[in-house]
């Protein structure tokens, strides 16, 4: 059994990790830390786990995680990087669900997250945990910087276009119009995330700039083999649902790509990826079709056979956009089948 | 492997059966019928099942179910009873999620469901599938009349009181104030169940009389060993959520029961039931704590140590209130552990 | 024009007062205070009021309210009573939307609100602003303790029974099963009121004891002319909608009341009340039928012609349950028609 | 008083007309027809109107509308055009909330609505009721084809750009990513609009082609003075809220427009329009900020000062997107102030 620890188990990605890992056949949960709730049985905070998770939260200071095989950080930005060196030295592998190991450029990290990076050397070693793009590197990684929820959907939605051998679209004029459920804002008390504020309401935010923009741009550029610059307009919106991200992506075809069969291109690209599902032509994926599961579904449209491609992508932001992708990485890092413990069927309705 | 057929797979209890049975380790789905959608792949109607359920719907007339071990009816009232005799003759066991085999009194059935009963002899044989009350009879049953969603929560909420050796409460003045998510109304197009009608809205219905009332009364009376008459005021309400039932039950203590420790009474009553969870004293169960799972949670209150007991019960109406309890019965009927294939962790948030 | 000030304009009852008063033909808003947002234009916090309310929030310390005719307190408990004496001395009348002037028994106030009462003499003078019960006293009042949202619906739902000349029901065994939208919890950041916590979820709270219980009991007793003791079981629930309270009330008939026509009793009781609407027999009021309006609708049921009455009551918790009833009091206190400025049509859907 | 009739009063635009017109100071409602509900009091179907609208629905065949000054059609497509000639002959003016008088090209109409046009001559006379663009023509119109909900938001969002004297953006590559509440689908029983289908869910639809696309293109082209061709990618999405449309519009700047102050451009364009509100730079409008009101709010963004403009537009689809804009037209046609009876304050929360 793989001994797993979780640092920061009281947020939504934490409880989602617990939901998935508690039934993972090869994992033994050994510790869950939570500074302000140390001593509290996990199931007292999350009654959904009564009889399923018997652990109590422990104080991070008094918890020795060096005996774990893998430690997840489901913490605010800045925590994982402060613990990484010690854990790595003890042979523990790290999967960070926050942003500490995403942006390779430490200046960019500091600009968007407002703190210097604590361990640039480890950052350079870290592997970006976008499985369908980086699978082989993840197998060998000691540190995973797990993609954000928006970046996962945008990158996987555009990867078949940008990862193609020849340029297909105008990479300098990409648009990602993304809609997220409110759980993406986390389990922090804030007025904007109150039911009475965000129910029966819809709005954009962060149009001027959002932390996920540089991450997506870095990732898309990497997908082109760093051969092309990326110009992306990214507009996130808050939508009144708990879980789910729907990304609507717009790309302008290059004239030389006009004859391509994009449906086939996408199907071929993801043929061997168990969690990415390219829907039949003409489909409109629904977020609920992946609710509480690790699947991500994509539909490719070319309205009026014109030169604008419209790519529709849905994922559960807490699963494929966070905890599930983390477990997918864990499986790869531990030599397991990628789908182990991740076959939860989406909950519909 | 147990060969299972489903008659009527296009409603919410149907797709929920598919979600659960598709990962049940001892079950092989062999047929799913749907009159108006024959020929359609199941996953085309429910994309959540893409790659998980490969069957297509078939026409009920052209589908031979006599090779099944067990057949579920997730159909409107009246269908199961018209097929029961033939299937039983072929050695197939039946689990009906509709009302054909619930009410033992055929006059009551006819009054509430507007049709004569097609097979009163089979009705008499049928076992009411409320597992925690009828477990042993279910093991040996050929026909199961599965409880309705409201009746499951109300009966399990009151069973420890009414099943006690001595009378504890005034059985003639029970109140069940029940709140259900909208999926309880089924996947039928109807104005009242539209999002724009039922969102941001709350109302009671059926106060004058509801089909579940005679079923609950029959069940509660049976729980008393048919020793006492039941007087129940049952008020169902529609609440703007997809899944979940919350039943708030009120019972007046008899003076001689005043000294009883009701928390212990409930804990003892359900000590060996894997899916019924009696919460610690003072708790308020949330419907989401059982979302998409077969658990039912109960809290017992006695405000001000007075003579009114308040019992709070939550379940997922589509799981413990329908498909999940059906699979629980299947497990018992087939000699499996009751929890086989039913250990889905509740989805929170 | 009546000069009106609002103390504490940043909560939901505050913005609702602004919505109503901004179009009230006889009112001039002169000041809106908000300690932590002093200087901020009201419409910057609530864009719904752009072009409608031109005032900015001011600091309570630097705002002279003594020139107002009436001041509303839409503040936490404890604020109104600390300002009352000074304002009254200046001839300003007070309408408190919090609890400072509701409970006549200062020991009860201290028990439930955790602070001593600052001005018991003014408390004794204060009039409980339940218009349909206390209309004449309100006309002459200097200080109004406005009823809570739950208490308004429960008291108006039971008043025709308890205010009758002869005892009709068992007053010691009343039950109020109440369901509130999440705006009732206020515009305070709290985890429990987050969208991701309270959407698609339903639960009871405060079964052990809730601040509104003593208020309701006091009010019901007063409605009986203080001739009878009240025994009430009050169970509030949180329901995933923004606005609206649905109270389901249960009362046991006394044998001598069995022949009464309760439909007529209710219709007669409220014949002259413009905001209370007794629905036709057999109705089920919906909370949305009063959304964003000052109406309260009631339906009276007697299932099976038995001895349990079921009263269904709906109101908008922010209007008839708070700001709207406050303006109704204002109108009466200022000699206006009770409906002035309160004729907003409910918003459906 | 202006005598007004409504044909088809049972849908959401119908009841919204009733909500607005019932308090309009210059209007007298004289008839409301509804084929299948003739005889039913309006307030029996919509209890929100109890005591407010005293009319009953009447049969369209037996209702003489020729005595009206203005008749609204809140009917399915095809109804208004079959009644138009007779009403016009009687001197009645017509405001059609459906599509009969929107598309000037009858071939386009037939293609998208599947029926030949019944009165092309009247169609040519009809004025497109987009007030802020066609105000003067509306004043003199006998027939109004009221814009669809999406088209209103998209056209008003782009009008300052496309109506400018000089070309500012690439008109052949416009993108409208629109999100609508479920009431936009109407009050028809359909599975896709059920609460259990559309709650906690988000998806696009009609990407291949939507009826509003040719209407928007026609309108935008007209705004350019028919000087330029329009290329628009229009992707509508269904979002789990009752009311509201949020349109996120993307336009690529022409190099020569790079120096323009777009905030000022928008503010100037709408300076005299009482219902269009250009928010301060950097804002993100929320749909709830216009809920149940006739306002439309716009924010203009130019992320990173690049060459992509992002325009955010919110409206209430049933008010400014339908009934409210209809009343705005009525006011203009009858020589009233445009805002008469339309000053309802948005309902927030």
**Tens of pLDDT, residues C93-107:** 999 999 999 999 999
The pLDDT score that the predictor gives to residue C212 is 94
Residues 6+ apart with CB under 8 A from C58: C31, C32, C33, C34, C38, C39
Task: Name D169's bridge partners.
Answer: D253
Q: Render pLDDT for A148-201 as a digit per residue (tens, 0 to 9).
A: 999 999 999 999 999 999 999 999 999 999 999 999 999 999 999 999 999 999
How far off is chain A from B275, nearest CA to CA, in Å? 10
Percent of residues, chain C, with pLDDT higher than 90:
98
Q: Which residue has the tokens 């179009």?
A: C23
- Smallest Cα–Cα separation from D243: which of D166, D315, D181? D181
Q: Under a CB-based contact definition with an 8 Å cutoff, are residues D175 and D233 in contact?
A: yes
Average pLDDT (B90-98) is 98
Sign of the Cα pseudo-torsion (C58, C62, C68, C73, in order): positive
Task: Name A286's bridge partners.
Answer: D203
Residues of C in contact with D347 (CB under 8 A): 19, 48, 291-292, 347
Touching subunits for chain A (3+ Cβ pairs under 8 A): B, C, D
- For chain D, helix, strand, coil in percent to 5 are 35, 20, 40
Indicate yes or no: CB of B286 within 8 angstroms of CB of C202: yes
Calpha distance D269→D283 (Å, rounded): 18
Indicate yes or no: CB of A203 within 8 angstroms of CB of D285: yes
Residues 6+ apart with CB under 8 A from A243: A181, A183, A287, A291, A292, A316, A317, A318, B349, D200
Task: Name A244's bridge partners.
Answer: none
Average pLDDT (B262-277) is 98
Tell me how crowded residue C238 is: count the other CB atoms within 10 A of its CB. Answer: 24
Sign of the Cα pseudo-torsion (D161, D163, D165, D166, in order): positive
Residues 6+ apart with CB under 8 A from A53: A18, A22, A29, A42, A43, A46
Q: In what order do the strands lie in the sheet containing A93-96? A: A27-33, A2-7, A70-73, A93-96, A143-145, A127-128
What SS3 class is residue A102? coil
How many A/B residue pairs have CB atoms within 8 Å? Answer: 87
Percent of residues, chain D, with pLDDT higher than 70:
100
> Chain B residue closest to A52 (CA)?
B345
Q: Under a CB-based contact definition with an 8 Å cutoff, are residues B19 and B13 in contact?
A: no
The pLDDT score that the predictor gives to residue C6 is 98
Average pLDDT (B292-304) is 98
∠B263-B266-B270 over CA atoms, to 5°? 140
Instruction: Identify the active-site residue in C68, C149, C178, C329.
Output: C149
Q: Which ranges of B140-260 would DSSP assign to H, the alpha helix?
A: 149-162, 195-198, 212-223
Residues of B in contact with C304 (CB under 8 A): 209
Which CATH superfamily, name and number, covers A2-125?
NAD(P)-binding Rossmann-like Domain (3.40.50.720)
Strand pairing report for B2-7 and B27-33: parallel
> Chain B residue closest to A50 (CA)?
B277
Task: Name D128's bridge partners.
Answer: D145
Burial string for C68-81 (b: 16+ CB within 10 Å, else e) reads bbbbbbbbebbbbb
- For chain A, helix, strand, coil in percent to 5 are 35, 20, 45
The pLDDT score that the predictor gives to residue A271 is 98
Residues of D in contact with A207 (CB under 8 A): 284, 301, 303, 310, 312
D241 touches chain B (CB under 8 A): yes
Name the residue facing A345 among B22, B242, B297 (closest C-beta): B22
Q: Render pLDDT for A238-281 as a digit per residue (tens, 0 to 9).
A: 999 999 999 999 999 999 999 999 999 999 999 999 999 999 99
Touching subunits for chain B (3+ Cβ pairs under 8 A): A, C, D
A50 touches chain B (CB under 8 A): yes
Indicate yes or no: CB of B191 within 8 angstroms of CB of D191: no
B135 touches chain A (CB under 8 A): no
How far off is chain B from A47, nearest CA to CA, in Å? 6
Side-chain-side CA neighbours of residue B281 (13 Å)? 10
D290 touches chain C (CB under 8 A): yes
Q: Under a CB-based contact definition with an 8 Å cutoff, are residues D314 and D179 in contact?
A: no
C314 touches chain B (CB under 8 A): yes
Residues of D in contact with A298 (CB under 8 A): none
Query: Encoding tokens for residue A118?
Result: 């604590």
Q: Which residue has the tokens 């001689």?
A: B256
Average pLDDT over chain C, rounded to an integer = 97
Interface mutation target, options B20, B46, B48, B52, chain A, most CBs of A under 10 Å: B48
How far off is chain A from B291, nearest CA to CA, in Å? 8
How many C/D residue pairs have CB atoms within 8 Å? Answer: 88
Virtual torsion, Cα D116, D118, D121, D123, nearest 10 deg: -80
A118 touches chain C (CB under 8 A): no
∠A280-A283-A287 over CA atoms, to 5°? 115
> Chain C residue closest to D288 (CA)?
C48
Indicate yes or no: CB of D19 within 8 angstroms of CB of C345: yes
The pLDDT score that the predictor gives to residue D272 is 98
Classify burial at D89, counting beta carbons within 10 Å of its beta carbon; exposed 0-12, middle 13-18, buried 19 or more.
exposed
Query: Encoding tokens for residue A259?
Result: 């004859």
∠D207-D199-A174 over CA atoms, to 5°? 35
Average pLDDT (B261-271) is 98
Compute CA distances A57 → A24, A35, A92, B243, whole Å. 20, 8, 20, 30
Strand pairing report for D203-204 and D232-238: antiparallel
Instruction: Identify the active-site residue in A119, A149, A178, A329.
Output: A149
The pLDDT score that the predictor gives to residue C236 is 98
Percent of residues, chain A, with pLDDT higher than 70:
100
**Residue numbers of B between 58 and 97 with CB closer than 8 Å to A:** none
Determine whether C329 is an active site residue.
no
Compute CA distances C133 → A70, C160, C222, C268, C300, whole Å. 66, 10, 10, 14, 19
Average pLDDT (C73-77) is 96
Peptide bond into A349 cis (omega under 30): yes
The pLDDT score that the predictor gives to residue A102 is 98
Average pLDDT (A295-306) is 97
Tell me how crowded residue C3 is: count the other CB atoms within 10 A of its CB. Answer: 16
Sign of the Cα pseudo-torsion (A262, A266, A267, A271, in order): positive
Query: Encoding tokens for residue B271?
Result: 């000590």
The pLDDT score that the predictor gives to residue B137 is 98
- Kindly indicate the confidence band of residue C65, based on its pLDDT and cuts at 50, 70 and 90: very high
How many B/D residue pairs have CB atoms within 8 Å? Answer: 66
Average pLDDT over chain B, rounded to an integer = 97
How far off is chain B from C103, nearest CA to CA, in Å? 19
* DSSP string over B16-75: HHHHHHTT-TTEEEEEEE-GGGTTSBHHHH-GGGTTT---B-B-STT---TT-SEEEE-S
Residues of A in contact with B279 (CB under 8 A): 47, 50
The pLDDT score that the predictor gives to residue D340 is 98
A242 touches chain C (CB under 8 A): yes
Name the residue facing B301 among C196, C208, C310 (closest C-beta): C208
Q: Under a CB-based contact definition with an 8 Å cutoff, are residues C3 and C28 in contact?
A: yes
Tell me how crowded residue A256 is: count the other CB atoms within 10 A of its CB. Answer: 10
- Output DSSP code: residue A345: P
The pLDDT score that the predictor gives to residue C186 is 94
User: What angle, 0 to 180 degrees and rounded to 10, lies between the N-to-C axes of helices B212-223 and B149-162?
Assistant: 30
Compute CA distances D181 → C256, C349, D247, D316, whole Å. 52, 11, 12, 9
Residues of A in contact with B52 (CB under 8 A): 345
Q: Render pLDDT for A105-130 as a digit per residue (tens, 0 to 9).
A: 999 999 999 999 999 999 999 999 99
Rounded to 5 degrees, φ, ψ at A171 are -70, -10
Q: Under a CB-based contact definition with an 8 Å cutoff, are residues D334 and D69 in contact?
A: yes
**Residues in chain D with pLDDT < 70?**
none
The pLDDT score that the predictor gives to residue B68 is 98
Name the residue facing D347 among C52, C289, C292 (closest C-beta): C292
Compute CA distances D166 → D169, D228, D300, D305, whole Å. 9, 11, 19, 20
The pLDDT score that the predictor gives to residue C117 is 97
C239 touches chain A (CB under 8 A): no
The region, left, alpha or beta by phi > 0 then psi within -120 to 50, assigned to residue C304 is left
Residues of D in contact with A287 (CB under 8 A): 200-203
Tell me how crowded residue B304 is: count the other CB atoms within 10 A of its CB. Answer: 12
Burial string for A6-36 (b: 16+ CB within 10 Å, else e) reads bbbbbbbbbbbbbbbbbebebbebbbbbbee
Q: Under a CB-based contact definition with an 8 Å cutoff, are residues B86 and B61 in contact?
A: no
CATH number among 3.40.1160.10, 3.30.360.10, 3.40.1190.10, 3.80.10.10, domain D150-317:
3.30.360.10
Query: Encoding tokens for residue C186?
Result: 């206020």
Q: Render pLDDT for B122-135 as a digit per residue (tens, 0 to 9).
A: 999 999 999 999 99
Q: Which ranges of B127-234 would DSSP assign to H, the alpha helix?
A: 131-139, 149-162, 195-198, 212-223
∠B327-B333-B338 over CA atoms, to 5°? 55
Compute CA distances D283 → A124, B113, D263, D290, D310, whole Å. 37, 56, 11, 15, 12
How far off is chain A from C238, nearest CA to CA, in Å? 11
The pLDDT score that the predictor gives to residue A282 is 97
Domain positions in chain D are: 2-125, 150-317
Interface mutation target, options C186, C241, C345, C346, chain D, most CBs of D under 10 Å: C345
Strand pairing report for D174-180 and D232-238: parallel
The pLDDT score that the predictor gives to residue C74 is 97
């Amino acid at each position: 059994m793989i001994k797993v620890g979780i640092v920061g188990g009281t947020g939504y990605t934490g409880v989602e990790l617990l939901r998935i890992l508690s039934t993972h056949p090869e994992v033994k949960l050994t510790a869950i830390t939570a500074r302000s709730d140390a001593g509290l049985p996990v199931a007292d905070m999350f009654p959904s786990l009564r009889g399923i998770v018997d652990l109590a939260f422990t104080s991070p200071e008094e918890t020795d995680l060096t005996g774990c095989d893998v430690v997840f950080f489901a913490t605010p930005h800045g925590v994982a990087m402060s613990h990484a060196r010690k854990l790595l030295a003890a042979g523990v592998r790290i999967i960070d669900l926050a942003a500490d190991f995403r942006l390779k450029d430490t200046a960019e990290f500091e600009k968007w997250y407002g703190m210097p990076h604590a361990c640039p050397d480890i950052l350079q070693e870290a592997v970006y945990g976008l499985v369908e793009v980086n699978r082989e590197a993840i197998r060998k990684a000691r540190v995973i910087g797990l993609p954000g929820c928006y970046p996962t959907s945008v990158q996987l939605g555009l990867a078949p276009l940008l990862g193609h051998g020849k340029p297909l679209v105008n990479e300098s004029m990409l648009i990602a119009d993304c809609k997220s459920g409110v759980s993406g804002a986390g389990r922090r008390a804030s007025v904007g995330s109150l039911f009475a504020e965000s129910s029966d309401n819809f709005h954009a935010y962060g149009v001027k700039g959002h932390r996920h923009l540089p991450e997506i741009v870095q990732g898309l550029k990497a997908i082109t083999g760093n051969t092309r610059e990326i110009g992306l307009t990214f507009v996130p919106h808050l939508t009144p649902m708990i879980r789910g991200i729907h990304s609507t992506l717009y790309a302008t075809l290059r004239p030389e790509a006009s004859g391509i069969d994009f449906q086939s291109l996408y199907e071929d690209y993801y043929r061997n990826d168990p969690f990415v599902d390219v829907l039949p032509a003409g489909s409109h994926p629904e977020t609920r079709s992946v609710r509480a599961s690790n699947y991500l579904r994509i539909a490719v449209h070319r309205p009026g056979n014109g030169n604008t491609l419209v790519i529709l992508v849905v994922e559960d932001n807490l699963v494929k956009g966070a905890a599930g992708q983390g477990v997918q990485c864990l499986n790869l890092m531990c030599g397991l089948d990628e789908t182990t413990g991740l076959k939860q069927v989406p909950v519909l309705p």
